[in-house]
Structure 1
Amino acid sequence: MALTQLAGIEVDLVRKRMRSLRLTVYAAGRVRVSAPLHTPLAAVEEFVRTRRAWIEKHQQQFAARTPAPQLQFEAGETHFYQGQAYTLAVHPADRPRVELHPETRELHLYVPTEATPDQRAALLTAWYRQQLRALMPQLLAKWEPVVGRQAASWGIRQMRTRWGTCNIGARRIWLNLELMKRPLLCLEYVVVHELNHLHERLHNARFWGLMDQFMPDWRTHKAELNRIHLTPGAPPDAD
């Protein structure tokens, strides 16, 4: 996609049907500006200029992040569950299953001898999904009364570029399956973040003020959540 030079910054400028300008900084420093169809280019450039310090701050934060490890799902690898590191143990078995052993910090994967890395990954992914599905009703019961909004429904996805999303019209929230690998409070931060969108659509002063009210230490959890890259194109936050 062609980039546009605005206020000395290379910008991916996208015009769409929307009411206001929106700025996003992606991993690797890429900057994207979404603008209403008829907004003059000069106004877009001024928008970028006034947010230059914010852009540079987030680019520096991305540069300092730790890249996610490449996994082969072999014995001895380190895998994470709720922010804790577990050593993967692989056992031959006719009945595929996953067992978590917190006392020894081991994650046991039982698979047929001929199982490929992709099949091992699929089994572990299904296990993570099962854990998150069992946990979500408890988290919603905890946080919906605090936020004062209730999700009509929720779902789990493997998302490449978001920790969570909220369909405001349908009052449906989606959580990234990868959150089961992060500390529990990081998952709770995303739940509160998405529920808060049922108060306020935009990431504006009102939105963050409400976050301060509902979860005063949200900044700590957000920083921990974004310390490791989600994917090379991941943005800085939940949506």
Structure 2
Amino acid sequence: MALTQLAGMEVDLVRKRMRSLRLTVYAAGRVRVSAPLHTPLAAVEEFVRARRSWIEKHQQQFAARTPAPQLLYEAGETHFYQGKVYTLALHAADRPRVELHPEARELHLYLPAEATAEQRAALLTAWYRQQLRALVPQLLAKWETVVGRQAAAWGIRQMRTRWGTCNIGARRIWLNLELIKRPLPCLEYVVVHELNHLHERLHNARFWGLMDGFMPDWRVYKAELNHVHLTPGAPPDAD
């Protein structure tokens, strides 16, 4: 994608059918601006200039993060589940399965001895998805009442740069599979955040004011998620 010089910085400028300007800071500090088709370039540049300090703050935060370790899915390796650290244990078995041992803080993987790292990863990922899928309905039932908005549908995705998304027109929310590894209040924060978009599309003063009413401690959970790399080299977007 071609870069455009705006307000003294390189920006990915994308024009599309939309009603307002949108700014995103990606991993490695890349800046992207999405703009309505006929917005004058001067107006886009002023938009970027007015948010220069915000952009630089998030670029600095991303640069300070420690890259996530490369997982090999070997015995003794540490993995997260609901905010706690578990040690991986491997067992040879014909029937693949995962067992959680909370007291010992261990995750036991049972699968054929010749299973590859990719197969071990696939087994654990499927288990993570199953656990998150079981949690979401009760959290939606709890928070839809508080927020006063109801999602028509929801799903789980492995996302590289978002903890959650909301399709406002379809009233559909998507949650990142990685949330099952974070503490439960962090998952709840993302659920509330995405439901709140059914009140307010933009991350503006009204949006955050509503968040204060729905979940007064949301900043604590947002800050915790902001220190996590979703995948090696790809922290969550600041948008």
Question: TM-score, normalising length from structure 2?
Answer: 0.96
Please name the residue that 2:228 is paired with: 228
Please name the residue that 1:22 is paired with: 22
Offset of 1:161 from its aligned partner? 2.0
Quick one: distance in 2 between partners of 1:71 and 1:130?
A: 20
SS of 2:98's equivalent in the other structure is strand
Contact 2:27-2:237 within 8 A present in 1 as well: yes
Please name the residue that 1:148 is paired with: 148
Question: What is the root-mean-square deviation of aligned Cα atoms in Å?
Answer: 1.2
Offset of 1:167 from its aligned partner? 1.4
Quick one: distance in 1 between partners of 2:161 and 2:63?
A: 17
Unaligned runs of 5+ in 1: none
Offset of 1:68 from its aligned partner? 1.7
How many residue pairs get aligned? The number is 238
Which moves more between the two structures, 197-206 or 73-82?
197-206
Quick one: distance in 2 between partners of 1:65 and 1:222?
A: 15
Deviations 1:73-94, CA, capped at 9 Å, x for gaps: 0001010001111000011111
Quick one: distance in 1 between partners of 2:24 and 2:39?
A: 18
Question: TM-score, normalising length from structure 1?
Answer: 0.96
Matched AA of 1:153: A
Quick one: distance in 1 between partners of 2:75 and 2:99?
A: 14
The percent of aligned pairs where both chains have the same amino acid is 88
Q: Which stretches of structure 1, 4 residues or longer, exceed 6 Å deviation after superposition?
A: none
Please name the residue that 1:157 is paired with: 157
Matched, 1:109 2:138: no
Quick one: distance in 1 between partners of 2:145 and 2:66?
A: 35
Please name the residue that 1:209 is paired with: 209
Unaligned runs of 5+ in 2: none
Please name the residue that 2:195 is paired with: 195
Quick one: distance in 2 between partners of 1:169 and 1:46?
A: 29
